[in-house]
Structure 1
Amino acid sequence: MAGEYRARAVHRFTVFAASGRESRHQRGHVRGEKKIGLSRERSLAKKDKYLVGLDIGSTKTCVLIAEIEDGVVRFLALGAAESKGLRKGLIVNLDSTVSSIRRAVEEAESVANVPVEEAVIGVAGAHVRGVNSRGGITLGQRPRDIERDDVRRAVDAARNITLPEDREVLHVLPHEFRVDAQNGIRDAIGMVGQRLEANVHLVTSSVAATQNLVTAANKAGILISDTVLEPLASAESSLTQDERDMGCCLLDVGGGTAELIVYGGGVVRHTSAVPIGGDHFTNDLAVGLRTPIPEAERLKRRHGCAASALMKEDGAIEIASVGDRPPRTIFAHMLTDIIEPRAMELLSLIRDDLKRAGLDGQIPAGFVMAGGGARLHGLDELAEHCFHLPVRIGEPKGLADLPEQVAQPEYATIVGLVLYGAKARRSAPQRGGNLVSKLKAMFAGAS
């Protein structure tokens, strides 16, 4: 029964497409086939027309293909497959991860009629850490106009922190600038001063963990154009500008971990992760009810509730037993008795993290919950009760023709990766010098 349920779970990851598009299966396409007679100029133009996001999660691997036309980013297709080979955002089996990527890519390609050659990939997990830093430069003995290169050098000075050899800077996110004695400057270009300082938020990650993600994608035949912190991508698709300005925490509850990113004054103030995700709820149910993992996942999705006060009825539920034992009957409150303590632990860890960062009371706009774990019934209401702040479920926006089935919290990251890639392409089409630019040619074309 466990294998049967798992097969249905994979089938549930449906390929979504914009309406009116022909499936490549109808055209007999084979992944990796060569295109004859296509000039290099046309190939490059076609490549620049599309954007692909790749989200390798602990529970599912997603590939989203979008088209850029007249400045509009338009959804084309989403392919997804069950993830195998990851635990808490880290690859533990490279071949299984590559296989999951290939399945998701092939499904998306078959609908979009577009070959996936390059993608923006998400990075998440307990190995990702954030820290605030400050650095500055002297502009000269006399005040002068601040130029773009001065801003770049000030930001470089702020990012110049000592890191262990096994860690790298994933993002440098500027907060504000200080010109001489004036604080709170958002854009220093054109101002006059003698000294320029930059306050930034640095996101660092494990070199090995990030490289393993890139390697898995390369082995699946995909070059990686950029690596993006997944909560940053989720915020791109799920937060409003008002929430960023007022102060808001996006909580992305994945399978292995819950990632959080805090905005205030329109910029990122804090990033972190807590070691509890949706899989912990599932495992708790499996152990507590002595039922297989797939059955525990089904029970969580269909009958789970994060707070006993929110239960509407305590009906009888038939569940599968382990091995060849016959099914048993339990009551709904037994699920909540197991889920609620874990939900309270998750929220307590988040509260402690925000207090350590000095952000307690600094997010009046409250919380936005994304990720598959946000679908757990009652988790948002329980969070409102614990934090005494507004909480809403984040539904991704920003892509034209986005199907309703994809405008769900579990797809906030994959939609955000494409939006982030589109914004990066508009602002800085040619970037390099980071780990990705060094690694994206590795295993190119490997299959």
Structure 2
Amino acid sequence: MDDKIIVGLDIGSTKVCAVAGRVVRNNKDQETLEVLGVGETYLADGVTKGTVVNVNNTVSAIRRAVGEASNQANINIQLVNVSFSGSHVMSIKSSGNITRSSSGDEVQTEDIDHLLSDMYRTSVPADKEIIHVLPMDFVVDGETNINQPVGRNGVKLGADFQLITAQANAARNVRKCISRNNLQQETMMLSALASGLAVLTDEEKYAGVALVDIGGGTTEMAIYYRNVLRHVAVFPWAGNSLTSDIQAGCKILPNQAEQLKKKFGSANPAEYNINEVVAVPGLSNKKPKDVLLKNVAVIIEDRLREIAALVQAEIIRSGYEGKLLGGIVLTGGTALIPGIEQIFGRVTGVEEVRVGFPEHLEPNGRADLVGDPAYATAVGLVWAGYKTIDNRISFISDPSRATYNEEPATAPPRTYGPPPPAREKTPVVPEKEPKKGLLSWLKDALQPMRGSETDPY
């Protein structure tokens, strides 16, 4: 049994969830995750579309969720892996290289660390921050499309990267919420990447798969191919959009729309007869209102079709249309709506569509609680303490930005080796800022992606 206990802290648009767990080996000698504690607090006002907008409310929600997980696990929680999201998150393609000082020996892991840490210093707009630097294909002395450069002889080491950026203010607010709870951040990870650790198989990531994490405020998408993360996108429409549509379409209160969605929601209107209704309590001194369940299903179906169309446009834009043998994996709380797989299958034309549940959990009562797509991110953040998004790199987030200080501070000295050699810089061209309208998003997404090849292989 591994004594190391990892805590995942998922700061979502509708709830804050803390999960404490550790990896154990079951009687079949397989690694499973033993869930030791779970804490959950629902957020009425604190996070909007994945972004912390009210620090005080979010700090309080984190305190309650972490306190509950700490009591259940009987541990003092000080270190957490934390999620981040937001419609401001963007993926930028860039490349960089370094010239190694010791030309006679093979490329080492430290050389990749140097290249990565240098890429974190890439110039981006002042209001942006690089959260992840993720390599795709490496180059050694002009030889391209190298998956693993360690062990190869060469002087010049380079790579094509995805730089995942966020609004600097939003990232700062997350760190502020962590530090004000006297916690330390081990890793900050995009929610979709964490969810992938919980619900995707190695075979799917090699064959090609699109993970679609439909949360409360945002829908995140991550495309894997040949075990490498190739594309990331975030849309500002998700579970709360369905609730808003039901509220407007049925002329009821927001909390009533949310309850209708959870109890009776379906993406298949044919499931209900034309006369099936549910009575919704009226306002004070008002009669209850009858709502047709078929209408609720029509509203849900329409919104999910729009989200699926965005996913399809992004698959085309990424250049991986027709290459995703692993299909589409849906996760997040909205993935539990009956009929959602059929909607995504019809709209995208992808045959293999499934709902992703957190897997490899050691059976116990708490595992039953988090074995639900709504907890995929929190469970994945625990797995992040034991496995990595990319086994070719040793860190997933910038080591110099792990803490928040109330006073501005310079980056601490490097702790993972000597300063990297200078690299030849390639200008980064940020992609267009997301536009507000759904049709504008679709139009923009269907444009060819800059800096990417239409046929990666």
Are 1:410 and 2:371 matched, yes or no?
Answer: no
CA shift in 2, pair 1:391/1:306, >3 Å: same
Aligned to 1:81: 41
The one of 231, 246, 260 equivalent to 2:207 is 246
Q: Does 1:121 align with 2:87?
A: no
* Pairing 1:434–2:400 present: yes
Which is further off, 120-129 or 210-219? Answer: 210-219
What residue identity is the alignment partner of 2:399? G
Which whole-Å deviations, capped at 9, do the CAs of 1:94-151 have from their partners, x for residues lacking one?
2111221122122222221112222111011112111222222345897753233333
Q: Could you tell me whether the CA contact under 8 Å between 1:257 and 1:277 is conserved in 2?
A: yes
| C-alpha distance in 1 between matches for 2:56 and 2:154 | 55
Q: In the alignment, what sits opposite 2:228?
A: 267
In the TM superposition, residue 410 of structure 1 has moved relative to its aligned partner by 0.4
**1:14 match:** none
TM-score scaled by structure 1? 0.81
Residue 136 of structure 1 corresponds to 97
* 8 Å Cα contact 2:176-2:404 kept in structure 1: no
Aligned residues: 395
Q: Contact 1:127/1:205 (CA < 8 Å) preserved in 2?
A: yes
Gaps of 5+ in 2: 26-30, 409-457
Alignment of 1:307-346 (within 5 A): 307-309=268-270, 311-314=271-274, 315-346=276-307
Report the counterpart of residue 52 of structure 2 in structure 1.
91
Q: 2:138 aligns with which of 155, 173, 177?
A: 177
Show CA shifts across 1:240-261 (max 9, x none): 0111001101000011110111
2:359 alignment partner in structure 1: 397
- Name the SS of the counterpart of 1:423 in structure 2: coil
**Cα distance in 2 for residues equivalent to 1:142 and 1:432:** 27
CA offsets 1:265-324 (integer angstroms, 9 cap, x no match): 101001110110101111111122121211111111121122335x25442221223454
Identify which of structures 1 and 2 has the higher relative contact order when contacts are C-alpha pairs closer than 8 Å and 6+ apart: 2
Q: CA deviation at 1:160?
A: 5.1
**AA matched with 1:391:** V
Secondary structure of the residue aligned to 1:221 is coil
Cα 1:374–1:323 change in 2 (3 A) is: farther
Quote how far apart the aligned CAs of 1:337 are.
2.5
Alignment of 1:59-78 (within 5 A): 59-67=14-22, 73-78=33-38
Q: Does the CA-based 8 Å contact 1:49-1:69 persist in structure 2?
A: no
Q: Would you say the 8 A contact 1:123–1:230 is kept in 2? A: yes
Does the aligned pair in 2 maintain the 1:168–1:207 contact within 8 Å?
yes
Say which structure is richer in helix.
1
1:79/1:108 contact within 8 Å kept? yes
Query: CA separation in 2, counterparts of 1:431 and 1:365?
Result: 27
Contact 1:136 1:157 in 2 (8 A): no
Secondary structure of 1:114's match? coil
2:10 is the counterpart of 1:55: yes
Gaps of 5+ in 1: 1-45, 443-447
8 Å CA contact 2:187–2:396 kept in 1: the answer is no
- Give me the identity figure in percent: 31
**SS, match of residue 434 in structure 1:** helix
Relative to structure 1, the CA distance from residue 97 to residue 406 in structure 2 (aligned partners, 3 Å threshold; closer, same or farther) is same
TM-score (norm 2): 0.79
